[in-house]
């Protein structure tokens, strides 16, 4: 496995979401993935998330259909500086994540 290949990075996040969805989904209302150099306005984000029902399927973030020049088109994959999944969205994703 080439650990430098961008598809490996994507698989790490699929595995991360699967572990969170199986073992920790009941611990939080929302789960966020953010790049380490991202600035997050935590009070603003919390104020926005409070307007949602965490039991419903909520996704907040950016979706892309490719990784960039030089890579063939991928299936839809979330990326960007950060994105948030509700508890309901993560629970709904677990069966698909187990298949991956």
Concatenated DSSP letters of 47-63: HHHTTS-TTS--EEEEE
* More confident of the two residues 84 and 61: 84
22-67 tens-digit pLDDT: 999 999 999 998 878 888 888 999 999 999 999 999 998 876 665 5
pTM over 0.85: no
> Which position has the token pair 């979401």?
17
The CA distances from residue 40 to 2, 33, 48, in Å, are 31, 11, 13
Q: Give the whole-number percent of the chain exceeding pLDDT 90.
A: 43
* 1: pLDDT strictly greater than 60: no
Write out the two tokens for 58.
Answer: 């909520």
| Confidence at residue 82, expressed as pLDDT on a 0 to 100 scale | 82
* Mean pLDDT, residues 7-18 taken together: 78
| Confidence at residue 46, expressed as pLDDT on a 0 to 100 scale | 92
């Amino acid at each position: 496995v080439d650990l430098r290949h961008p598809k490996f990075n994507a698989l790490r996040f699929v595995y991360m979401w699967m572990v969170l969805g199986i073992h920790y989904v009941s611990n939080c209302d929302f789960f966020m993935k953010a790049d380490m150099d991202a600035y997050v306005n935590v009070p603003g984000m919390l104020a926005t998330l409070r307007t949602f029902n965490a039991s419903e399927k909520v996704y907040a973030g950016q979706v892309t259909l490719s990784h960039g020049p030089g890579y063939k088109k991928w299936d839809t994959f979330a990326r960007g500086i950060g994105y948030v999944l509700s508890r309901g969205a993560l629970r709904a994703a677990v069966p698909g994540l187990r298949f991956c």
